[in-house]
Structure 1
Amino acid sequence: MASPDQSTPPTSIASYEEPPPTIQFTNIEALCQAIEEVSGDFLVVQNVSPTDFEEINRQEPRRFRLRRYHADKEILIITIPNDLHEALHIGIYRRYDYQLGPGGIESWRSIGSTTLRPRGHPGGDGGEGDSCGGPKPARNHKGAWPTLVIEAGDSESLGALRDDMRWWFSASDHQVNIVLLAKFDHSNQRIIIERWEEEIQIRPGATTTTRAASSAVQPVLRQSIIITRDAATDSYHVARSALALSFRLLFLRDPGPQEGDFIISIADLKAYARDVWEVV
């Protein structure tokens, strides 16, 4: 197979800053060869039928993730986990996981890159997160959706990552409660971290009697954190605040004694940034 071309796929599934690397699916062997030739961390694959997707999904071991499959358009977006991509999401998840403490393994399930499908569409759309998990016992069963999802982007644009975020909320029927996006902005040499949650929004003009029918659950940007590096001093600057994660949204209950929201401090974010820049 020739190297992936740069033609834009005929779909509005994501907002790309530049045309993404794109190929037509023919067979598994050719797909794996194309993945080896991609320089960034994602690839758009067209002409992937539901049967093809199931075959790709069964490949073990595989050095890629099935980020998103759109069955209606037969388009598959593949994540190619290079060093920078992995550092962006793992660095955040590990700092959260560390705060769970010794009892964390008993109360939290790390779901990893399990392929999840929207309810009622077992043979349709699907997706895998970079880092994700949910509480035990509520989300400790096959096919359970996480409450926390972290998605990373190296060559993938922030707009495309935001489309991923919307998919998680929608496809899970709003069972996903927090989506974190971690994007390395090469042009400005900075890390962008966004924390998205959902809230009910009332459409303008709704009366008291029509308010319920006029309301909708919409993603809301709760936090935007920018981390920059001073190359001269090898120091890091975190704009705005520490990263805060709601205990209630993560664990689906109110915190008990000695429990509370999880805070990834500015010092921790600087250490995280140092780890990321080491693989840029």
Structure 2
Amino acid sequence: MATSFESSDVLYAYTTISRSSSSTGASRQASPAETSPAETSSIEGLQGVPIYQYTGVRDLQERVKSQSTELQAGRSNQQYLVFRSVTKGHLDMLDRKRASIGKHTRMTHYTDTNLLIVKLMPSVEHEITYLLLADDLSHVLAGMGLPRRSLIPLGGSRFSGPNSSKEGDSAYKPRSRNRRADWPTLVFESRLSETLTRLRHDARWWLTNSGGDVRIVIIILITPVEKRLQVEKWCLSPATGHRPATRAHLNSNPLVPTRIQEVTITQNPATPPNPAAQPGTTVQPSTTTQPDAAASYAVTGAPLILEFQNLLLRAPIPPEGDVVFPAADLLLWADSFWESVV
């Protein structure tokens, strides 16, 4: 039985999605035969998110405004809205009305299922994590002697795959990719939540749909209650456990989206881990302008490494090299973030 919310034009994402509906827009739970794998895959990690029947720009505007208000007031951490029956023509209309919908939105559209996922980013918590880290990245590159804007910021530009299109939270490409349609080499995605499932879905989307043009995806999960930042680096890497190459299977080790690295930074852990007992964990105080408010952090999985060649698409020339964020830099990044959102 589908669970209703506010009106008959909404289902929750833990129910299946029906391709058919009545002329009034009412929704019902689909039978297994009516639900395609593509529909199930497109809402991965969005369990509990309401799914609305798209009825026009004004209705979408009102729902975005209402949910943004809840986010800004701290009454909700739900950043997503899902609309069905959104065609490519509808998406073009939404683009023309984008200013009235809000610049703080990111849209993912699935042309094969006509699903539109709207991600809301209306406050500092939703954007400052990756903006601070990107600023640190620019600082490191400048220290190597690279000219300013060696990585061009693309913001939330939309990129299209075979059956869907997506806007990242933020993206960057090197100057060598000088065509408007060129994919970024680095993409950031962040979320206020307790689960990484949707962010991992996003990472796989960028790496797969770009055909390998996107080299690094950094996903950041923000958990305010626990003052924790979880960072994962995703890249393409050879799949393991595949059969030997034959004429029928020329590529024995195809490249697949892979989680390469995990870093967790937790402020003031209740029981600070013992670094000697847990290799890879660093606990140390932050540097702040208010010594009495100094925070301690547990950092696991450091350093975070962004390969120079993946970012700039060329081999480094000394003193150039990979961008390395050690534990000390990561805790300062986390400290700057939490100070900014108090």
Q: TM-score, normalised by structure 1?
A: 0.87
The equivalent of 2:288 in structure 1 is: none
Matched, 1:75 2:108: no
List aligned pairs for 1:1-280, cutoff 5 A: 7-8=12-13, 10=17, 11-12=39-40, 13-16=42-45, 18-38=47-67, 39=71, 40-61=78-99, 62-81=102-121, 82-101=123-142, 103-118=146-161, 121=162, 125-137=164-176, 139-155=177-193, 157-186=195-224, 188-201=226-239, 203-206=241-244, 212-230=250-268, 234-278=295-339, 279=341
Please tell me whether the aligned partners of residues 198 and 220 of structure 1 are also in contact (alpha carbons under 8 angstroms): yes
Q: Which sits farther off after the overlay, 249-258 or 178-187? A: 178-187
What do the CA deviations read for 1:68-117 (whole angstroms, capped 9, x no partner)? 11111111111211321112221221211222217443522111111111
Q: How far is the alpha carbon of 1:136 from its aligned partner? A: 0.8
CA distance in 1, matches of 2:234, 2:301: 16
Please tell me whether the aligned partners of residues 106 and 120 of structure 2 are also in contact (alpha carbons under 8 angstroms): no
Please tell me whether the aligned partners of residues 41 and 85 of structure 1 are also in contact (alpha carbons under 8 angstroms): no
% identity of equivalent residues: 27
CA distance in 1, matches of 2:65, 2:111: 24
Unpaired stretches in structure 1, ≥5 consecutive residues: none
Q: Which sits farther off after the overlay, 104-113 or 125-134? A: 104-113
Please tell me whether the aligned partners of residues 64 and 78 of structure 1 are also in contact (alpha carbons under 8 angstroms): no
**Bigger relative contact order, structure 1 or 2 (CA pairs below 8 A, ≥6 apart):** 1
Q: SS of the residue aligned with 2:113?
A: coil
Q: TM-score, normalised by structure 2?
A: 0.73
CA distance in 1, matches of 2:301, 2:262: 8
Q: How far is the alpha carbon of 1:149 from its aligned partner? A: 0.5
Amino acid at match of 2:116: L
RMSD: 2.6
Q: SS of the residue aligned with 1:44?
A: strand
Please tell me whether the aligned partners of residues 15 and 157 of structure 1 are also in contact (alpha carbons under 8 angstroms): no
